[in-house]
Structure 1
């Protein structure tokens, strides 16, 4: 019977000693860099057109190996860039590919079935986003 007297005290102790978990998160913002490319900026190498963005100090060796590198493109229409499309993609039956390495990003444009691509006839804006990550 004496054990029953301690039960309310035990329940009160449990209620007032509830545990709370505290987590501290550090958010490192993404890095976004824009590059504008005119139609005459594309370089032809065999059957492949390409453009390189070499001035990317944000794309360090560590960032190239661990972080996410996302590239999208917007085509100028009526003097504005209205929406972005994620690369790689096929547009007008031509294939856009992205290659990234330390300090630079290369965009390749290939035609269908190994044929020569047509150089774009509009200005394009490329958006490079470097998303920090942690390797586990």
Structure 2
């Protein structure tokens, strides 16, 4: 009689592990662009030093919907996320649908002054993360 009581527990032991939840994950890879910018590529506009980096992947749609992350490596190995203030100067990133295919990095000095001249090549890492609009 006790055997019959254990039979449902034994059957549950075989049935429950077979129930698994399946999930379908869609992974959309991001796009990473590495660009070295030498000192002679920086321009001056008023009190702002700037450089435009060509990013052909940044079209009107991706400019509107996707995430754009820009980092700078001053020493070649350590990337720091922009915008940022470093050594009293601020770095800012601009991208717009009016200037498709470009990311502009601005460098401003303290108190509205012109930033010091850029004297070495910096590496920029631009990551475009695809997204979609939800209405």
Q: Bin the TM-score by the shorter chain.
A: 0.7 to 0.9
Are 2:127 and 1:100 aligned?
no
Q: SS at the partner of 1:16? A: helix
Determine the C-alpha separation between the residues in 2 that align with 1:73 and 1:37. 10
Are 2:79 and 1:84 aligned?
yes
Cα distance, 1:19 vs structure 2? 4.8
Q: SS at the partner of 1:134? A: coil
Cα distance, 1:52 vs structure 2? 0.2
Query: Gapped runs of 5+ residues in structure 1?
Result: 1-7
TM-score by length of 2: 0.80
How many residues are treated as equivalent by the alignment? 127
Question: In the alignment, what sits opposite 1:65?
Answer: 64
Question: In the alignment, what sits opposite 2:26?
Answer: 26
Determine the C-alpha separation between the residues in 2 that align with 1:62 and 1:100. 12
Alignment map for 1:41-52 (pairs within 5 Å): 41-52=41-52
Is 40-49 or 59-68 further displaced after alignment?
59-68
Determine the C-alpha separation between the residues in 2 that align with 1:135 and 1:92. 38
Question: In the alignment, what sits opposite 1:40?
Answer: 40
Determine the C-alpha separation between the residues in 2 that align with 1:51 and 1:57. 16
TM-score by length of 1: 0.79
Q: Root-mean-square deviation (CA), in Å?
A: 2.4
Cα distance, 1:74 vs structure 2? 0.8
Alignment map for 1:103-118 (pairs within 5 Å): 103-118=101-116
